[in-house]
Amino acid sequence: MQIIAFDELKTDYKNPIDQCNTLNPLVLPEYLIHAFFCVMFLCAAEWLTLGLNMPLLAYHIWRYMSRPVMSGPGLYDPTTIMNADILAYCQKEGWCKLAFYLLAFFYYLYGGYNFEIEYPSVYLQMLFVYETDTE
């Protein structure tokens, strides 16, 4: 979803203000859901999975801590988003995360077959991935 959005930006279809306004509200939920999963893994004592997710969690925390000064939630500042470096970075970030979520999805799916106990979390994760993918 974000990738598409940034691509739109790059190709000049959309006003950066609008784009940031649509993206910013989604950032925090994404991070929270991911954090929630991490907590779930922690509860389920899935250390390996948790370990895989920890770097991303740390990244999310860092990213949110170093966000530009803004009053609302979100990460993206319409005045800087058009900077080529930042735009490229955001786009790359989007692709990487998509790949990670996809891989994680299949990994959880596989894990789910083996350990039925994890079923609920897998289901949730599926939902989430679906959401990020299609939006």
The residue ranges that bind other proteins (CB under 8 A) are: 9-10, 12, 15-17, 68-71, 77-79, 82-85, 87
Instruction: Between 83 and 133, name the residue whose CB sits nearer to other proteins.
Output: 83
Reported for 86-90, long-range contacts at CB under 8 A and 24+ positions apart, including other chains, are 87/6, 87/9, 87/10, 90/2, 90/6
As measured in angstroms, the least distance from the Cβ of 82 to other proteins is 4
Least Å from the CB of residue 9 to other proteins: 8
**CB of residue 92 to other proteins, shortest distance in Å:** 16
- Pick the closer one to other proteins by CB: 20 or 50: 20
Q: What is the DSSP string of the chain?
A: -HHHHHHHHHTT-S-HHHHHHHHHHHHHHHHHHHHHHHHHHHHTT-HHHHHHHHHHHHHHHHHHHTPPS-SSS-S--TTTTTSHHHHHHHHHHHHHHHHHHHHHHHHHHHHHHH-GGGHHHHHHHHHHHHHHHH-
Q: Is the CB of 61 or the CB of 82 nearer to other proteins?
A: 82
In the complex, minimum distance from the CB of residue 103 to other proteins, in angstroms, rounded to a whole number: 30
Residue with smaller CB distance to other proteins, 8 or 135: 8
